[in-house]
Amino acid sequence: MNNKIKAAITGVHGYLPDFVLDNKKLSEMVDTNDEWITTRTGIKERRILKNGGAASDMATEAVKGLLEKTSTKAEDIDLIVVGTVTADYPFPSTANIVCDKAGLKNAFGFDIKAACSGFIYSISTAAQFIETGKYKKVIVVGVDMMSSIIDYEDRTTCVIFGDGAGAVLLEPNIEGYGVQDFILRNDGEGRKYLVQPAGGSKNPATIETVEKRMHFVKQEGKQVFKFAVTNMAEVSAEIMEKNNLTSEDVDWLVPHQANLRIIDATANRMGLTKDKVMINIEKYGNTTAATLPLCLWDYEKQLKKGDNLILSAFGGGFTWGAVYLKWAYNS
Ligand code: UT7
């Protein structure tokens, strides 16, 4: 028994749009093929939100499903933290809009912009509000509608990304379950290699920015790969060492789903066998802030109370980090 309050995940839910964009359809849009995409990334298909939907719509679906599943009243939620780089608008925040759409009348909320590390940054931040004893029910969402900022004429980026949302409920736990530790890092020089150049105060929208396709994601894949493969592996090993965890102690690696080769390198560095690694990249591609909660959602039934999970991510910023948590329930 440990009386210190920890923030435990007590439920997880997700939302994925119906439309499936598979490698075959993509190869009719740009000069690519299933073999290249599969061997270089591990991705087979991704989901795309159509019909004028926005990030808040996916987040709201995930939140509503989470509330229903955990028998939680919308008005009992104290706070919602949304990790996203594809907010509906520059302002207000996606969190504000989700509060309205999902009826979170007594909550406050804010967005965290940390690209593919959005969920790691968000859950670490949200956990603090529980650990202080101030709040009892906090929702953390990772959502991205990458199709809204992807150039479907650029084969180097359009094959990678997809849309989706995942949400978890955090509640206080005094039995030692929940978030144990986190390490968060950033290096702003990474903006040279991964950036959405226009639409912010540096390059506000003009006819020229649109004509130059500057509102789309630009990525130097090889450079990002080098940083990602090193840093995601290192930070995952670091959080294990810091918490005296051996590879036997770790039950699950929950890795950001950017590239199967990055996931494999991280698992190898941690000394984990494949059966301990959550992988769904083949179905959804890289959904940016949504990859980690979507993994938890997909694997929820296999998780057991007391399992040690290491969540790990790397993304635009650069941002990266790892979270160590003890799973709090059996499904
Ligand atoms: O989640 C946020 C962080 N992002 C990441 O973690 C992404 C990290 N980077 C990557 O995952 C990989 O770098 C990519 C998947 C983006 C690219 O894989 P790569 O093995 O690094 O390929 P490359 O960029 O070195 O390109 C190799 C070749 C090039 O042709 P040449 O110059 O060798 O003739 C590219 O033009 O593959 C070509 N290529 C493609 N061919 C078919 C690039 N994209 C495609 C494509 N289909 N979609």
Predicted confidence (pLDDT) per residue in 34-81, tens digit: 999 999 999 999 999 999 999 999 999 999 999 999 999 999 999 999
In the numeric block, the tokens 């995942």 are attached to 166
The pLDDT assigned to 57 comes to: 98
Neighbours of 158 (CB within 10 A): 22
Q: Distance between CA atoms of 123 and 182, rounded to whole angstroms?
A: 10
- Identical topology for domains 6-176 and 180-326: yes
**Alpha-carbon radius of gyration of the chain:** 19
Cα 253 to Cα 56, 167, 311, 323, distances in angstroms:
28, 18, 6, 10
Residue 221 CA to ligand 1 centre (angstroms):
6
Three-state DSSP class for residue 10: strand
Question: Residue 195 pLDDT > 60, yes or no?
Answer: yes
Average pLDDT over residues 20-45: 98
Residues 6 or more apart in contact with residue 34 via CB below 8 angstroms = 23, 24, 27, 44
Question: Residue 1 pLDDT > 80, yes or no?
Answer: no
Q: Ligand 1 in contact with 227 (CB < 6 A)?
A: no
CA angle, residues 189, 191, 192, in degrees to nearest 5? 85
Mean pLDDT of the chain: 97
Three-state DSSP class for residue 83: strand
Atom of ligand 1 nearest to the CA of 158: 48
CATH code that applies to domain 6-176: 3.40.47.10
Report the CATH fold assignment for 180-326.
Peroxisomal Thiolase; Chain A, domain 1 (3.40.47)
The tokens describing 90, both together, are 């520059």
Query: Which H helix or E strand runs over 14?
Result: strand 6-15
In the numeric block, the tokens 């790969």 are attached to 225
What type of residue sits at position 253? L
Q: Distance between CA atoms of 188 and 316, rounded to whole angstroms?
A: 9
Omega within 30 of 0 (cis) for the link into 318: yes
Question: Residue 203 pLDDT > 80, yes or no?
Answer: yes
Q: Distance between CA atoms of 165 and 63, rounded to whole angstroms?
A: 9
Of the candidates 141, 140, 314, the residue with the CA atom closest to the CA atom of residue 226: 314
Question: Residue 2 pLDDT > 60, yes or no?
Answer: no
Of 222, 291, 319, which is best to mutate to test ligand 1, by the most ligand atoms within 8 angstroms of its C-beta?
Answer: 222
Would you list the domain boundaries of the chain?
6-176, 180-326
The pLDDT assigned to 96 comes to: 98
Neighbours of 249 (CB within 10 A): 11
Residue 182 CA to ligand 1 centre (angstroms):
31
The tokens describing 111, both together, are 């967005």
Nearest CA to ligand 1 atom 35: 156
Q: Ligand 1 in contact with 117 (CB < 6 A)?
A: no
Query: Which tens digits make up the pLDDT trace of 111-168?
Result: 999 999 999 999 999 999 999 999 999 999 999 999 999 999 999 999 999 999 999 9
In the numeric block, the tokens 């359009």 are attached to 158
pTM value is: 0.97
Nearest CA to ligand 1 atom 22: 222
The pLDDT assigned to 3 comes to: 78
Question: Above pLDDT 70, what percent of the chain?
Answer: 99
Query: Which tens digits make up the pLDDT trace of 236-253?
Result: 999 999 999 999 999 999
Residues 6 or more apart in contact with residue 268 via CB below 8 angstroms = 233
Of 22, 156, 264, which is best to mutate to test ligand 1, by the most ligand atoms within 8 angstroms of its C-beta?
Answer: 156
DSSP label at residue 3: -
Q: Distance between CA atoms of 65 and 68, rounded to whole angstroms?
A: 5
Q: φ, ψ for residue 10 (rounded to 5)?
A: -115, 5
In the numeric block, the tokens 């995940």 are attached to 9
Residue 14 CA to ligand 1 centre (angstroms):
29
Strand pairing report for 108-112 and 79-83: parallel
104: left (phi over 0), alpha (psi -120 to 50) or beta: beta
Average pLDDT over residues 264-277: 98
